[in-house]
Amino acid sequence: MKGVDALHRAARALLKRPLLRAAEQEEFRLVRSQLSELRSWFDANTGWRLHADSDVIRLHKEPAVADDATRPARDPRNRNAFGRRRYVLFCLALAALERSDAQIPLGRLAEQILLLARGPALAGTGVEFTLSGRDQKTDLVAVVHLLLHWGVLARVAGDEEDYLRGTGDVLYDVSRRVLSQLLVARRGPSTVAAEALDERIAALGAIEAPESGEATNRQIRHHLTRRLLDDPILYFDELGPAEAEYLRRQRPAIVRRISELTGLVAEVRAEGIAMVDPEDDLTDVRIPEPGTEGHLTLLLAEHLAQAGAEEHPLEELQRLTRELAERHRTYWRKGASEPGAEVALTDASLERLAALRLIDRRGGRVRALPALARFAVEPIVTGPSSATVAASLFEELGGA
C-alpha cells in the first residue's frame, strides 16, 4: 500500500511540474524512486517520454491538441501572458544560450538575441526587436523570468530591475542539462519544410501512420488519455468516429487507469467527461477564486449559463461588466469601475472560463459550453438574490 501511495504522489508531482531539478529535493527524490513504474505507465497510456539523469527529470508532454490557445506561457512574477514577440524572444534566447559560455550577463544575452533577430529567418515576419524602448526590455525580462523559473538560468549577481532602469546588469549561470530538455518534439525544427505556422507545429509532433489495427488503437488511447489528463473537460462531439467508438468501448478501463495513478475521479455526463481532482491542486486555473476577477468570473458564468447556447457579442459582456462594477464598487478593487476598465476585466474572466473549457470564444462572440450549466442559478423566491449570494462568497474568499 505504501508503494501505491508513493507512485500516486510521484505521478501527481510530475503532472504538476513536468520538469524537475535536483534542487527540488523532495519531489525529485520521490519521482526518481518511482521511475520504472512511471515510465511504463506514460509510455503505454500517453506515449510521453520520461527522461531522468542526476540533475533533471523531464516528462516530455506532447499536447493532444496543437492549437489550444487557452494556456499561454506566462511571466512567473505577474502572470502576464506571452504575446507573439515574447515567444519569438524566448526561442531566440534558447538559441543564444545554446552557444553561450557557462555564465552569461543579461546585457550579453540581449546582444546575442539582437544579432539573431536581424537574421533572414525573421525578415518579413513583422517581429522587430531593437531594445529601443522599455517595453521591449520588459519582454526580454519576462522571458528571463520564465527561464529562471524553469532552472535554465540561475541568478548569480544583480537584478533585472536594475537592467530595466539602465543602472546595472545581471549575471547568470546556464544549466545546459535543463536547456537540452526543454524542447518537446518528435523531429528537429530545422528539418521541417512547411512554412505556415500551424503546419510547422503539426509537423513537430507528427506521428507515422499506424500500420496495424493495434497501432491505431494505441494512438487513439494515447490521444484520449492525454486529453483526459491535460484538458479540464473532454467533450464527446469533439471526437472523430473512431475515437468516439473506442472511448465508448474502453472508457471504464481508461478512466480506471488514470484514477489509479493520479487519484482523479471521472465525472461522466451526456456531453463529455471531466477528471475531477478531489485534492484540488492539479490545476492552475480555478473557480471560484478570491479577488475582483474571481467574483466577476462567477457572475459572468451565471449570466452565460442561464442564456444556454445563445451567442453573446463581446461588447454586451463588457457592458454587463461595467454595470456589475458599479453595483459592487463597495468591495471590488479600486479602479474597477473607471471608464474602460471593463475591457481588461471582462477579458481576464472570459480567459479563465475558456481555459476551463466552459465557454467558446470566436470572432468577438462568446458561447456557453455544456459544462457551464452547473453555474446556472435558479431564481430564489424568498431569501437573498443570487447576486447577494455571489457577493457573500466573494467576501468569504478574501475580497478585492
Q: Do domains 84-180 and 292-396 have the same CATH topology?
A: yes
57-74, pLDDT tens digit by residue?
Answer: 999 998 888 778 888 899
Can you read off the three cell numbers belonging to residue 225?
488519455
CATH topology of domain 292-396: Arc Repressor Mutant, subunit A (1.10.10)
**Reported pTM:** 0.84
For the chain, the first-to-last Cα distance in angstroms comes to 44
Residue 375 confidence (pLDDT):
77
What torsion do the CA atoms of 327, 284, 95, 199 make, to the nearest 10 degrees?
-90
Distance CA 399, CA 263 (A): 32
Contact residues for 158 (Cβ-Cβ < 8 A; gap 6+): 106, 168, 169, 170, 171
Q: For the chain, what are the domain ranges?
A: 2-60, 84-180, 213-276, 292-396
Architecture of the 84-180 domain: Orthogonal Bundle (1.10)
pLDDT-flagged residues of the chain (< 50): 1, 380-383, 385-387, 389-391, 393-400
